[in-house]
Amino acid sequence: MSTHPVTCPTCFEEFEVPLPSPDETPCEVDYDCEVCCRPMLIAFDSDEDGEVSAWARGLGE
Ligand SMILES: [Zn+2]
């Protein structure tokens, strides 16, 4: 399974998240930071080549 680096919106540390398959995107999942354990939302989307990217944002933003 491939992963993608995201930056935690709370502690600004970077960590890798597992990517869903392209046909499951776009989607958003709740995720807990692997560094500070604070919750965040991670948005996944894919381009026309089936390349999946991920972005993290804080809850309530
Ligand atoms: Zn964090």
Task: Tell me how far CA of residue 51 lies from CA of 4, 10, 16, 26, 33, in angstroms.
Answer: 11, 27, 16, 12, 23
Task: Walk along the chain (61 residues) and give the pLDDT tens digit of each residue.
Answer: 799 999 999 999 999 999 999 999 999 999 999 999 999 999 999 999 999 999 999 997 5
Ligand 1 centroid – CA 58 distance (Å): 10
> Residue 19 in contact with residue 51, Cβ under 8 Å?
no
Q: Among 2, 51, 4, which Cα is nearest to 31's?
A: 4
From CA 55, how far away is CA 29, in angstroms rounded?
11
Kindly report whether the global pTM for this prediction surpasses the value 0.85.
yes
Ligand 1 centroid – CA 56 distance (Å): 10
Total count of domains within the chain: 1
Q: What is the pLDDT of residue 60?
A: 72
Q: What is the pLDDT of residue 61?
A: 57
Backbone phi and psi for residue 53, each to the nearest 5 degrees, phi listed first: -120, 165
Domain span holding position 34: 3-58
Ligand 1 centroid – CA 15 distance (Å): 9
Q: What is the pLDDT of residue 1?
A: 76
